[in-house]
A = this chain, B = another copy of it.
Amino acid sequence: MVVELISVGTEILLGNIVNTNAAYLSQQCALLGLSLYYQTSVGDNEKRLEETLKTALGRSDIVILSGGLGPTQDDLTKEVAARVMGRRLVEDPHSRQRIEEYFQGSSMKKITENNWKQAMVPEGCIVVDNQNGTAPGIILEGEGKSVILLPGPPNELKPMFEHDIYPYLNAMRPEVICSVMVKMCGVGESAVETEIKDLIDAQTNPTIAPYAKTGEVHLRVTASAKDEKEARKLIKPVVKELRSRFGDHIYTLDEHVTLEESVIAMLRERELTLTTAESVTGGMLSARLTNVPGASDVFKQGLVTYCNRAKRKLLDVKKTTLKDYGAVSEKTAREMAKNGAFITGSDICVSLTGLAGPGTDEDKPVGLVYIACSYNGNVKVQEFHLKGERAKIRESAVVKALTMLREYILEEVR
C-alpha cells in the first residue's frame, strides 16, 4: 500500500518552521510497512492545494495532509479535501460541543465566531477527537482511497496519530509488522554501528535500523509475519543477541519509555530520593525529570545555582574553591553534589557546572562541563567536552547527567 504526505502551511514555505511532522509521519508509515514515495509541502492556497491533492490521489492509496485546520480564513485544507472528495461540509454537533468545552473555564481565551468553523466536517467522514486543541482530525474514504487530515501543531498531531490513525492504518495492512525499540545510552552511534555491522549485513527478517538522538542510540528491530506471535518469535533472538553485546547500556525495550523515566523508575524501585544542583543547565535536568508523571515520588526539589553567590549561599560551596578553582571545576561540581544531598536531605544529588557559551571570560573552553553524583557521602565526578552551540551543549549535558546517574545507581547502589 502506498501512502503520501502533504504538509500544508505557508510558514513551511517561508522556512519559518522546520517540518518535523513529515519526518514523524514518515517514520510511522515506515513502521507500518507502508511505502512512501513523495512528501510535498504546499501553502495555504486553494488552487495549488487542490492540484497537489489530486496528483497525490492519482498515484497513492492513502494521502495524509497535515496543517491548515485552524480557525482562520487562511486555513482551507478541510474545504479543499471535501471538494476533491465530493463532499459537503456539515456541522458536527459532537465537535461543536468539544470546542465549547475547550473554551469553558479558560479565562484568557475567548471563543470567537471563527472558532465554530472548526466544527464543520465533510459529510460522511470519520471525525477524530483532538485531545490537545480545537481542530478535530478527519478521515475521508472513497473509491478505494483514504484521505486523512491532521492538525499542524506537533503536540496535537502526534498524540492523535498514535491514538487513532496508527490503529486505523494498521487495520488496513496485509500482514503484521512488529517491532521492538532497543534504547541505549552511554555508547556512541558509530561504536554501535561497528559493533553490529555483522548483524546488519546478514539481516533479512527481522531488520535492525539505528536511530540517533542526542546522547542516545536507539535500534529498531522489525519483523513481519502472518501474525503478531510469529513476528515476536522472530524478534526475540535478535534482542537477546543485542543484550549480550550491549549489556547495561540498554535501558529499555519499550518505545515509549524515555531515559528520564527509566532513571525515575530505578530510583523508585530502590526507594531513593534525588535532588539536582544545576548551574550550566539552569533547571533543564529537573525540568526533564519532572516530565515524568509521578516523578514526585523520588524527586522532591532542585536548586538552580546560576551565580557564584548562589552556589555559596544555597549549596555551601567554599569561597576558596570558587576562587582557586573557578565555578567550572571538578572541585566545585563535587561540593555542589555532596552539599546538595546533605542540605536537602536527599539520598542522591546530581550537580552540573560548565560553560555553554557563546564566548567565555574564563581561560576554559566552551563545552567544558563537570557532572557529579553524590550518594552516601561518596562523590564521583566526570569531565566532559561537549560540542555544538549553547543549546546543544546544554541538552547534551542533561543526557550525560542522566546517563551518569543511571550508571552510578547500577555501580554504587545496585
Chain A positions near chain B (C-beta within 8 angstroms): 10-20, 22-30, 36-43, 45, 48, 52, 70-74, 102, 105-110, 112-115, 131-133, 155, 159, 188-191, 193-194, 200, 209-212, 214, 220, 276, 278, 281-287, 289-291, 293, 295-296, 299-307, 309-310, 314, 344, 357-359, 365, 383-385, 387-392, 394-395, 400
Closest to A26 in B: B15
**Ranked 8 nearest A-B pairs via Cβ:** A282-B290, A283-B283, A15-B27, A15-B26, A283-B286, A301-B310, A302-B304, A39-B41
Residues of B within 8 A of A191 (CB): 109-110, 112
Residues of B within 8 A of A22 (CB): 12, 15, 19, 41
A388–B18 touching, CB < 8 Å: no
Closest to A315 in B: B301
B13–A26 touching, CB < 8 Å: yes
Majority DSSP secondary structure for residues of A touching B:
mixed
Residues of B within 8 A of A26 (CB): 12-15
Q: A220 vs B210: C-alpha distance in the bound complex, in angstroms?
A: 39
Q: Take A17-B23, A282-B289, A384-B108 as given contacts and tell me if A306 and B300 are in contact as well, using a CB distance cutoff of 8 Å.
A: yes
How many whole Å from A283's CB to the nearest CB in chain B?
Answer: 3
Residues of B within 8 A of A307 (CB): 296, 300-301
A155–B193 touching, CB < 8 Å: no
